Amino acid sequence: MEERLADASRVNEQWSSRLSFIYSIGAAAIGLGTLWRFPYVAGANGGGAFVILYALFVIAICVPLMIAEMAIGRRGHGSVITSVDAAIAASGGSRGWRVVGSLGLLIPFFGLSYYSIVAGWAIDYSIVSVTQGFSSFDAERSRTTFETLTASPVRGGLLQLGFIMATAAVVALGVQRGIETVSRIKMIALFAILIGLVIYNAITIGLMPSAAFLLKPDFAALGATGVLTALGQALFSTAIGAGVLMTYSAYLPAGASLPRSSLALSGGVIVVALLTGFAIFPAVLAYGLKPTEGPNLIFVTLPVVFGQMAGGRIIAIFFFGLIALGAFTTAVGMLEPVVAWLREKVKLGRAPLAIAAALAIWLIGLPSLLSFNVLSDFHPLAAFGAEGKTAFDLLDFTIANLMLPASAFLLALFVGWRCRAIIGPKETDLGAGGFRLWAAIVRYAAPLAIFGLAVHLLA
């Protein structure tokens, strides 16, 4: 049975090299979760203490879970559904474990439907940066500009559709010609732009206040909520349980080390998060703004800053271009699991399946898009205690607070316990001692930590 599943699911595509795999998963994982969410989450939770805990959680919890997810994908050589099915068949497990694969497919499908809305905003602001800049922006005009963007269903819908179809075009080109190419461009541009912004800040503003804020720990300002938020951010920014790591690992070439790949990804995520902080907070602090501003920090607060600072228009072009590019390669990583599954079910090429999946995702995302305008007063679950939550709010809450923690939790249990007979040192590329530590974290520490996070999120 296992051999039949493996044969049926085996993919005929492969990364051109181990390095290509590393920068491709890096490009997929490092998106809005790091470039958009990390700065304001760190700012709202005391800065340095949060950053330290975040880095510890990425290394101690996320790296073992990455190895676990990659091991299933590399072993299954198929979509998330097929790879999990192969592991179930080999371990003699219940078909109920198929929920692990199902979540790895549903999360990117529904997640991309509203993720693409925020990506559309980034594209719009990139265009504004190029065409007119923000020199005349004050706080009122900045807020009005953002509200005008979100209030237009046509403008937002076209931006969202264009973004998703561009994502489909890359996925349609395949692993090497499409995903690898844009991932390489993104990672080079990402570090070049971030380092350039940090150097600019160091010369024009200075980095010491930001260094104190980001690196000096103040655990009194963190609290239990900050600890759990740091864990959630670590899981969110490394794409654990979102189907991307498992799908990309199915294309691994022989000899690729899962621990080295996971450590490279985790290191890249941490470095980019810190660089993003040093790219954003110097201007925020220098102009007397609050780093705890929240999501509005990017689209409402920073345009005012760009309008006041020397060379602000050029900085804005690079900054919003960076946000849009970061969102784009993450979207590619979210669409690929869906297309990989469709290719096993439908005998069509990549291109028509990528286009069909993209259009379906766009249609599913329309209620979320309209939540900012036409359906702003529609609260579908108000009768069940979700007063004031729009379709966008509900989908965001369901994905981020329910499905992602559940997927990571079940993945840890599935690999750590159900697959313990088929996932050993050889499958994880770990020595005996390293494997025992890995197994202890995946079986005990990670599930307990994620369970605590889930209780906090639902409290």
- pLDDT of res. 213: 80
DSSP character string of 131-171: HT-STT--HHHHHHHHHHHHH-HHHHHHHHHHHHHHHHHHH
Contact 346, 353 (CB under 8 A): yes
Range ranked top by mean pLDDT from 57-71, 209-223, 373-387: 57-71
Position 298 pLDDT exceeds 90: no
Residue 77 structural domain:
2-458
Q: What is the mean pLDDT of residues 30-34?
A: 82
| Cα(389)–Cα(294) distance, integer angstroms | 18
Position 6 pLDDT exceeds 50: no
Position 262 pLDDT exceeds 60: yes
| Poorest-pLDDT segment among 17-31, 78-92, 247-261, 299-313 | 299-313
Q: What is the mean pLDDT of residues 86-92?
A: 94
Contact 230, 45 (CB under 8 A): yes
- pLDDT of res. 295: 63
- pLDDT of res. 1: 42
Hey, what are 333's tokens? Answer: 């990583």
> pLDDT tier at 5 (50, 70, 90 boundaries)?
very low
Contact 389, 381 (CB under 8 A): yes
Burial class (CB in 10 A: 0-12, 13-18, 19+), 458: exposed
Residue 213 vs residue 24, higher pLDDT:
24
HSE, CB side, 13 Å, CA atoms: give it for residue 120.
Answer: 28
Position 10 pLDDT exceeds 80: no
| Cα(150)–Cα(146) distance, integer angstroms | 6
Nearest Cα neighbor of 332 from 127, 116, 101, 72 is 116
Hey, what are 250's tokens? Answer: 């199915």
- pLDDT of res. 293: 62
Q: What is the mean pLDDT of residues 14-41?
A: 86
| Poorest-pLDDT segment among 74-78, 95-99, 394-398, 420-424 | 394-398
Position 140 pLDDT exceeds 90: no
DSSP secondary structure code for residue 353 in this structure: H
- pLDDT of res. 123: 94
> pLDDT tier at 300 (50, 70, 90 boundaries)?
confident
Q: What is the mean pLDDT of residues 70-82?
A: 95
| Cα(377)–Cα(384) distance, integer angstroms | 16
- pLDDT of res. 312: 85
349-376 tens-digit pLDDT: 999 999 999 999 999 999 999 999 998 8
| Cα(440)–Cα(355) distance, integer angstroms | 42
- pLDDT of res. 4: 40
| Cα(173)–Cα(53) distance, integer angstroms | 39
| Poorest-pLDDT segment among 13-17, 32-36, 245-249, 415-419 | 32-36
| Mean of the per-residue pLDDT values of the chain | 89
Task: Read off the CATH number of the domain in which 357 is found.
Answer: 1.20.1740
Domain count, the chain: 1
Amino acid at 330: T
Q: How far is CA 72 from the centre of its chain?
A: 20
Position 7 pLDDT exceeds 50: no
Name the helix (H) or strand (E) containing 64: helix 63-76
Position 250 pLDDT exceeds 90: yes
Q: What is the mean pLDDT of residues 99-120?
A: 94
- pLDDT of res. 9: 44
Position 74 pLDDT exceeds 70: yes
**pTM metric for this prediction:** 0.91
- Describe the crossing of helices 48-57 and 223-237 by its angle, rounded to 10 degrees: 50
Range ranked top by mean pLDDT from 39-48, 211-220, 323-332, 379-388: 323-332
| Poorest-pLDDT segment among 113-127, 336-350, 369-383, 402-416 | 369-383
Position 259 pLDDT exceeds 90: yes
* Percentage of residues in the chain having pLDDT higher than 90: 57
